[in-house]
Structure 1
Amino acid sequence: MIGAAAPLAVSGMTVAYRKKPVVQGVSFEAKKGELIGIIGPNGAGKSTLIKAILGLIPALEGEVRIYGKPYKQQRKLVGYVPQRESVDWDFPTHALDVVTMGRYGHLGLFRRPGRKEKELAFECLEKVGMAAFANRQIGQLSGGQQQRVFLARALAQDAALYLMDEPFAGVDAATEKAIVLLLDELKRQGRTVLVVHHDLTTVTEYFDSVLLLNGEKIAFGPTAAAFTPELLHRAYGGKLGFRMPVPTADSGE
Structure 2
Amino acid sequence: MHASPLTISNMSVAYQKKPVLRDVSFEVPEGKLIGIVGPNGAGKSTLIKAALGLIPRLYGEVSIYGKPYAEQRKLVGYVPQRESVDWDFPTNALDVVMMGRYGHLGWIKRPGAAEKRLAMECLAKVGMADFADRQISQLSGGQQQRIFLARALAQDAKLYFMDEPFVGVDAATEKAIITLLNELKTQGKTVLVVHHDLATVKEYFDWVMLLNVQLVDFGPTEQTFTPQKLQETYGGRLTMLDRESKSAMIVNGR
TM-score (norm 2): 0.95
Q: How does 1:168-187 map to 2 (within 5 A)?
A: 168-187=166-185
Q: CA-atom RMSD, angstroms?
A: 1.3
Structure 1 residue ranges without an equivalent (≥5):
249-253
Residue 245 of structure 1 aligns with an amino acid whose one-letter code is R
| 2:241 alignment partner, SS class | coil
Q: In the alignment, which residue of structure 2 is the partner of 1:133?
A: 131
Q: In the alignment, which residue of structure 1 is the partner of 2:152?
A: 154
Offset of residue 225 of structure 1: 1.2
| 1:36 alignment partner, SS class | strand
Count of aligned residue pairs for this structure pair? 246
1:43-88 CA distance string (max 9 Å, x none): 0000000000000000001111100000000000000000000000
- Residues in 2 aligned to 1:49 and 1:212: alpha-carbon distance in whole angstroms: 12
Check the 8 A contact 1:81/1:163 in 2, yes or no: yes
Offset of residue 242 of structure 1: 3.9
User: Are residues 1:70 and 2:68 paired?
Assistant: yes
Pairing partner for 1:53 from 28, 51, 54: 51
| 2:57 alignment partner, SS class | coil
Q: In the alignment, which residue of structure 2 is the partner of 1:79?
A: 77
Offset of residue 136 of structure 1: 0.3
- Specify whether residues 247 and 91 from structure 1 end up closer, same or farther in structure 2 by C-alpha distance, changes over 3 A only: closer
- Specify whether residues 92 and 148 from structure 1 end up closer, same or farther in structure 2 by C-alpha distance, changes over 3 A only: same
- Specify whether residues 244 and 64 from structure 1 end up closer, same or farther in structure 2 by C-alpha distance, changes over 3 A only: farther
- Of 229-238 and 147-156, more deviation after overlay is shown by 229-238
- Residues in 2 aligned to 1:140 and 1:4: alpha-carbon distance in whole angstroms: 45
Pairing partner for 2:221 from 220, 223, 229: 223
Residue 246 of structure 1 aligns with an amino acid whose one-letter code is E
| 1:28 alignment partner, SS class | strand
Offset of residue 245 of structure 1: 1.8
Offset of residue 244 of structure 1: 4.1
Task: Report sequence identity in percent.
Answer: 72
- Residues in 2 aligned to 1:6 and 1:92: alpha-carbon distance in whole angstroms: 39
Residue 182 of structure 2 aligns with an amino acid whose one-letter code is D
Q: In the alignment, which residue of structure 1 is the partner of 2:249?
A: none
- Specify whether residues 20 and 137 from structure 1 end up closer, same or farther in structure 2 by C-alpha distance, changes over 3 A only: same
- Residues in 2 aligned to 1:109 and 1:85: alpha-carbon distance in whole angstroms: 26
- Residues in 1 aligned to 2:73 and 2:11: alpha-carbon distance in whole angstroms: 19
| 2:175 alignment partner, SS class | helix
Check the 8 A contact 1:38/1:196 in 2, yes or no: yes
| 2:208 alignment partner, SS class | strand
| 1:69 alignment partner, SS class | coil
- Specify whether residues 61 and 151 from structure 1 end up closer, same or farther in structure 2 by C-alpha distance, changes over 3 A only: same
Offset of residue 247 of structure 1: 9.1
| 2:215 alignment partner, SS class | strand
User: Are residues 1:233 and 2:231 paired?
Assistant: yes
Offset of residue 108 of structure 1: 1.4
Offset of residue 122 of structure 1: 0.5
Offset of residue 241 of structure 1: 4.1
Offset of residue 168 of structure 1: 0.2
- Residues in 2 aligned to 1:59 and 1:204: alpha-carbon distance in whole angstroms: 31
Residue 35 of structure 1 aligns with an amino acid whose one-letter code is L
Runs of 4+ more than 2 Å apart: none
Offset of residue 246 of structure 1: 3.3
Structure 2 residue ranges without an equivalent (≥5):
247-254
TM-score (norm 1): 0.95
- Residues in 1 aligned to 2:218 and 2:152: alpha-carbon distance in whole angstroms: 25
| 1:42 alignment partner, SS class | coil
- Residues in 1 aligned to 2:114 and 2:242: alpha-carbon distance in whole angstroms: 48
Offset of residue 109 of structure 1: 2.9
